[in-house]
Every structure is written in structure tokens, then in C-alpha cells.
Amino acid sequence: MVKLIHTLADHGDDVNCCAFSSSLLATCSLDKTIRLYSLSDFTELPHSPLKFHTYAVHCCCFSPSGHVLASCSTDGTTVLWNTQNGETLAVMEQPTGSPVRVCQFSPDSTCLVSGAADGTVVLWNAQSYKLYRCGSVKDGSLVACAFSPNGNLFVTGSSCGDLTVWDDKMRCLHSEKAHDLGITCCDFSSQPVSDGERGLQFFRLASCGQDCQIKIWVVSFTHIFARSTEDQAKQFTEDWSEDDVSVWLCAQGLSDLVGIFKMNNIDGRELLNLTKESLADDLKIESLGLRSKVLRKIEELRTKVKTLSSGIPDEFLCPITRELMKDPVIASDGYSYEKEAMENWISKKKRTSPMTNLVLPSVVLTPNRTLKMAISRWLETHQK
């Protein structure tokens, strides 16, 4: 049975999107506003409507806690709002200034994705409100976005019909033409599907498009990460453009050096070959402390390249950090994690599984000595 219980007619133009939290309903419109309603009686909150955007608002979404609301607009901004008082927490401008069509929080609220009409996609740090990584699709506007339940991946859909899978470091893991006439929406199922024979877990992804079709996909995190690591060593060297190096510098807190590196045409290959002498003599970086920091970050990058190129088995990588585990533990969801990473996850992100996003039956962590021994044997064999 379906029964209409209420109709809201406060917007002055087309309503583009609506979103629920546990206690609120949010709506956004071509009239440039966002409105908040109480779910108890559908009355509009005293601090609604929320006004900042200078053009149409295309999308709005709540953080998982419901305390923060994100909205994005043709004006090229994504705005974060305090839902309790309507105050503006942050205004995040799309680097290209292009109209922002879609925004989405990660399941743990640490990140926010914004996708724009020119195909740029930005991964924001939702705590510091700073840009973390930026990428783009080849063709079309980004009109859809969804995070996997564990937050390790997110998917974007474009007006040209391309479905693109990204990891949490903004590496493009997979892209293909999914719909002939453009994608309109996509979403992950919250429940994993298990492959009993191999012990693997998959998530189902649905995409729908203007070709009158709905397609169901199976996404295997293990297979995607295994396939992508084959290309990552090359990506960290020969495939890095000057712009990729600039993004890396910003992520390391070295944005002041972007201009110097660009002026000297430093790409990935050149980056890995930099020495303390070339930083001082060729790039003219006078500060000893700054040179030391750059060299330290480059050495970390070299180590990562070496590690990736050695083909670490996926089961040796922590699902949270995607790094080789040193002290693996088994959680109550049956998965193994790096002890420190899982302890931080439990303390900061409540009692949910990083892999399934379901509530953990227990927060007890059991040392996985068998896995630790296997990792030690692998290290002895591969890092001589």
C-alpha cells in the first residue's frame, strides 16, 4: 500500500534533489536554496532555507551522522552546512570553476567527492575542508557518484555513459562505456556477496541511464586492486606528468614548490632522480629543512614504488591503509587488519566493519600469527 501523507511546496522553481538523515529531509532547487524539514511533522526548520549559492543547486547529501549537509551548484562551489543551526562550515571551490553537478560523502565522513560539468572530480578532506586529490574523466559531465560500503572505492557516472571506478587515492582503477545515452544514477548495495569457493567478497553496483536500461555490476575489490597494482609502479615513474607531480606535492604539504617544479619541468621520472645536490643547485631550494623534507618524501615514494613493483599478495595488505601489514589482527568480521589502523578505526569510526560497513559483533582484536609469519617469509624472499 502506498499513501501520500504530505506535500511540500516551498521552493520557487524545479526541485533537483532530496536527501534524508535520521531526523531531517533536505531539498535543493533551481531557486538557489536548500530547505530543511523535520521528519516528525515535516515543518521547515527555523534556520531554513539555507542561502549561499548564486545559481541553481543540483545536489545535496547528508554526512552519515546527519550533522553536516553538503550542497553543490552551478556557481562552481560545494558548500558544507551545520544542519543544527544552518551555519556555513566551508565553501569549497571546484579548481576549474566548472558547475558542480554531484556530491557524495564517504561512509566514514572523512571524505567528500564533488563532480563537475567539465568532467573534473575532486576528493576533499571533509575535516580540514582542503582538496586532497583531483582527477577527470575523458568526456561528459559527471552526474552520478557512489561510495562502496567500505569506503575504499567510489564510482562516478558521466553524461556520456562512462562508468569509472576510483580508489581512495584517486587512482582510476576501471572505466568503461556503461550506457549509450548517458548515466543518470548509480549506487552500491550495502550487503556483500560471497564467493564460497575462493572466500572472496563482492559488492553489487547498479547503474541506470537514458538508454532505458538498468545494469547490475559485480565489483571485486581484490581483483581490482590486484589488477591495478600491476600498473602502479609504472604510474609512480614514467606515467606521472608534471601535473601529477604538482598534485603529489600538494598532498605532501609542499604546495609552495609547485611553481619551482613546473618551471623546471619535473615529471615523475625526474622526481625520482632528484638528489640533495639537484634540489639545491638546479631547483635553487635554499632552505635546508625544506630540502630534507622533499628528499624524505621522495624516498618514501621510491620505497612505495619498489614495494608495488614486487607484487605484494593482496591478503598481506591492510584493507584500511592498503599497506603491508606488520602486526595483523583478526576482527570480529573475519577480516585481517593492521592492528594500529583497526584500533584507530574503532575509536574514531564507531563499531562498523571497514569491509562490509556492518556493525561489528565485538571489538576484540585477535593476533593473526599465521599471517604474520607468512608475511615475514615473503619479505625474506622478496626484499633481499
pLDDT in tens, 240-270: 778 778 877 877 778 889 889 989 999 888 8
Q: What is the pLDDT of residue 312?
A: 74
Q: What integer best gives the mean pLDDT of the chain?
A: 85
Q: Are strands 57-62 and 68-73 parallel, antiparallel or unpaired?
A: antiparallel
pLDDT over 80 at 348, yes or no = no
Instruction: Name residue, grid cell 599478495.
Output: 313
pLDDT at 375 over 70: yes
Does the pLDDT at position 232 exceed 50?
Answer: no
Q: What is the pLDDT of residue 186?
A: 93
Rounded to whole angstroms, the Cα distance separating 120 from 67 reads 27
- Whether pLDDT at 114 is above 70: yes
**Nearest by Cα to 156 from 188, 131, 124:** 188
Looking at residue 77, its pLDDT comes to 94
Closest CA to 81 of 107, 99, 105, 100: 105
Sign of CA dihedral 127, 130, 136, 142: positive
Indicate the pLDDT class of residue 221, thresholds 50, 70 and 90.
Answer: low
Q: In the prediction, which pLDDT does 200 show?
A: 58
Q: Largest Cα–Cα distance of the chain, in whole Å?
A: 76
Whether residue 39 has pLDDT greater than 70: yes
Confidence of residue 234 (pLDDT cuts 50, 70, 90): very low
Give the distance, in angstroms, between the CA of residue 277 and the centroid of all CA atoms in the same chain. Answer: 37
Give the chain's end-to-end CA distance (angstroms, integer): 68
Name which of 21, 119, 20 is nearest 66 in CA terms.
Answer: 21
Residue 349 has pLDDT above 60, yes or no: no
Task: Work out the pLDDT band at 235, boundaries 50, 70, 90.
Answer: very low
Chain segment 166-198, per-residue pLDDT in tens: 888 787 788 889 998 899 999 999 887 766 554
Q: What is the pLDDT of residue 201?
A: 66
Distance separating alpha carbons of residues 382 and 359, to the nearest angstrom: 37
What mean pLDDT comes out for the span 85-112? 92
Tell me what the mean pLDDT of segment 15-28 comes to: 95
Cell numbers describing residue 336: 585481517
Q: Which three cell numbers stand for residue 124?
A: 576533499
CB atoms within 10 A of CB 236: 21
Q: Which of 74-88, 298-312, 317-331 has the highest mean pLDDT?
A: 74-88
Residue 54 near residue 12 (C-beta atoms within 8 A) = no
The pLDDT > 90 percentage for the chain reads 46
Least confident of 137-146, 239-248, 304-313, 333-342: 304-313
Higher-scoring residue by pLDDT: 321, 336 = 336
pLDDT at 164 over 80: yes
CA–CA distance, 119 with 136 (Å, rounded to integer): 5
pLDDT for position 137: 84
Question: What is the identity of the amino acid at 170?
Answer: M
pLDDT in tens, 273-308: 899 899 999 999 989 989 999 998 888 777 666 655
Does 231 score more than 60 pLDDT?
no
Considering only CA atoms, give the Rg of the chain. Answer: 23
Residue 318 confidence (pLDDT): 84
